[in-house]
Chain A
Amino acid sequence: MPGDDTMEPLERLLNLVGLLLDTPTPLTFEQIRDTLEGYQGDNIESVKRKFERDKDMLRAYGVPLEMTGTDAWDVEQGYIIRKERYYLPEIRFTPEEITALYLAAQSGSETTDAAQGVRKLLYGAEGGLLTGAAGGPLAVESDADQGRLLAAADAASKRRRLRFGYRTATGAGSERTVDAYGVVFRSGHWYLVGHDLERDAVRAFRLSRVTSEPIDDGPGSEPPSGFRAIDHVESAPWNGSGAPVARVAFGPAAAILAEGSLPGATRESVREDGWTIVRLPSSDLATLAPLVLGFGPDAEVLEPSSLREEIVRRLTETIDA
């Protein structure tokens, strides 16, 4: 074959990976040059540059290309790809498992890392993917920026400290320094859970409210024993509060909206006029009054009377404003 310029770069890279995977001992640049046509040519400097570029590209893609001494005396440097670091370990997935992973990775709107990762795992698909999953890929999306989510998960899994700007739900902005302990997904939102240094307490930060790229600020700390990240992500306002019950009547169209948007709502009965009576596991005025008011004239609180009075008070205030 003539000069190096006509050789396809892909071919050259594949050859290099094959050669370095196959060699039992590290190979020097000269030895590689002798074996691979792609690095032959008269201009040593330009060949060397080409080799460096190829090496960088392979490493960027995750190929564990090592440079190491060729013998015990480290006289010469050589290159090798160690099989145990290169190859994906044997993972046996059932067709259900690999299909679920594949569909999950396909479902995001911008997750190429996940899709790439799962393609590597397809190799272990015994019997291939299950086809014809009903309704096509089941898509799920979160409101977190993928880059920030990865940065947060990376920090949590390595116990790093992060610095970032944060704005609370009510708009107060500040700079936070947090020892990352975990990331938690709940109802479409991702949260970073960690020890907030200034507040000296564990806090959960919704990633969509992080206002700047998180910066790595060195090693963090270990979470206390028995720590569970999910315990620190707030649940719906009345979950598990064991509070008394409110009864609310909803108009025919509003009932299904109410049942869908008020956690813990249970249907009690349907009245003769078509209105549905729903029980809500709380009677907290500040929480419930706004939620019921959002249904306008399609909802009426039946009890407790304190909630009725609160609604009347708020409506009067709105009318008089």
Chain B
Amino acid sequence: MPERRRTSAKVEERLARMLVVVPYLIQHPGTTLEEASSLFDIPVAQLRRDVQQLFLAGLPPYGPGDLIDVDIDEDGAIWISMADHFARPLRLTRQEALAVYLRATEVANTPGMPGAPALTAALGKLREALGEDTLGDTAGIEGITGGEAPPLLDAVRTAAGRRERVRIAYAAASTGERTERTVEPEAVFASGGRWYVAVWDIDVDDERLLRVDRIASLEPLGERFERRGLQGAGRPLYTAGSEDVDVRVRLGPPARWVAEYYLATDPSDEEDGSLVVTLPTRQMTWLARLFLRLGSDAAVLEPAELRAEIVAQARATLARYQG
């Protein structure tokens, strides 16, 4: 009975909300439906329904003065007064507490995170209040803040927050060239220890994902833009395109990291410990340089043009040393 199962899952979800949202609303009287909806990620209509149901719930009178009163005024502000037992939220489960702890550790240890000191302080309070019963021994949950934040991270973040167009100089690793572009920075995020910004590139009229540490200069243009809803965290860092060439390569054991670091498909483990993968790319120059770096640890299986490009790049590089 799939229909019924869905209903019961929904009840669980709604119960979960009520045991958490109601205490918040009691503690913060006059919170609007809008605010609560965005804080707790519940659609306004659903929240209104759940809150009103509280009033109808007709809790049995446990003692004198156990009056429940729920009111949503014309501005959408919610006023609840009810018995003490829902005035404080349920404890965090161990799973939730650990997840919060891990998440905050990730964020606090990413270079350039403005809230890092506050987060560290908050984790201390959480640890103290929940104690070992809930969290266990957290001494081993740690982070190392590696490296420094890109110099223009704050400028990029400010522009994204203000929805302001900027003119930037950007060094593209794929072509090794430095270009000037006008972009609309939307979503700033860190992934794999690096900062990225999803932008709308005005000059090519298309979406681009840029690495913040490769932005060499940034000039705010004073023009506001409308967000297009470009995705930040959770997006693939490389989007395959129609011009991509499927490059098939063999990566010896010391070069296997390439498959972890870049988008690689159709992996096949070989007897000798090497890995054969396909690297979809449209940037032959970039790929040729990657092969200069890997040297004898990797080999191109196809296409043959790439092999020629590698030799051309090797000759051009060698010329610098023989001048």
Contacts and interface: CB of A to CB of B under 8 A. Distances in A.
Interface of A: 1, 8-11, 13-15, 17-19, 21-22, 35-37, 57-58, 60-64, 85-94, 96-101, 103-105, 107-111, 113-123, 125, 128-129, 132-136, 138-143, 146, 149-150, 153-154, 156-159, 169-172, 180-190, 193, 208-209, 223, 228-230, 233, 235-236, 251-257, 259-261, 263, 290-291, 293-298, 300, 308, 311-312, 314-319, 321
A308 B139 CA distance: 46
Contacts of A62: 90-93, 96
B192 A91 contact: no
Given A116-B16, A120-B92, A188-B193, 19 more contacts: A9-B8, A13-B15, A19-B60, A22-B63, A22-B85, A63-B19, A85-B91, A86-B90, A101-B122, A105-B104, A108-B106, A110-B234, A114-B102, A138-B115, A140-B191, A141-B189, A185-B144, A297-B316, A297-B317
Interface residues of B, number: 135
B187 A94 contact: no
B193 A189 contact: yes
Contact of B188 (A135, A172, A253): A135
B29 interface: no
Nearest to B24: A123
A116 B313 CA distance: 52
A121 B63 CA distance: 29
A159 B214 contact: no
Contacts of A10: 11, 14-15, 18, 50, 53, 57
A36 B232 CA distance: 48
Contacts of B140: 156-157, 180-183, 193, 223, 229
Contacts of A229: 140, 142
Contact of B59 (A1, A15, A186): A15
A186 B109 contact: yes
B16 A61 contact: yes
Contacts of A105: 100, 103-104
Contacts of B115: 96, 99-100, 103-104, 138
Contact of A296 (B27, B136, B161, B288): B288
B173 to A, nearest CB: 6
22 contacts: A19-B60, A63-B19, A63-B90, A87-B91, A97-B118, A97-B121, A101-B122, A114-B103, A117-B93, A135-B160, A138-B107, A138-B113, A157-B135, A181-B140, A182-B142, A193-B140, A223-B140, A228-B142, A253-B172, A256-B214, A295-B176, A314-B292
Contact of A22 (B83, B90, B288, B315): B83
Contacts of A91: 125-126, 129
A189 B11 CA distance: 37
Nearest to B310: A318
A208 B189 CA distance: 20
A169 B261 CA distance: 11
A87 B57 contact: no
Given A170-B254, A185-B106, A118 B100 contact: yes
Contacts of B116: 100
B11 A9 contact: yes
Given A114-B96, A140-B106, A297 B188 contact: no
Contacts of A133: 161
A319 B318 CA distance: 10
B295 A314 contact: yes
Contact of B98 (A103, A116, A154, A228): A154
Interface string B37-61: 0011100000000100110111110
A184 to B, nearest CB: 5
A156 to B, nearest CB: 5
Nearest to A264: B147
A19 B176 contact: no
Contacts of A290: 293-295
A40 to B, nearest CB: 12
A88 B171 contact: no
Contacts of A180: 140
Contacts of A319: 311, 314-315, 318
A316 B318 contact: yes
Interface string B127-138: 001100001111
A226 B12 CA distance: 44
Contacts of A116: 16, 20, 96
B233 A96 contact: no
A11 B92 contact: no
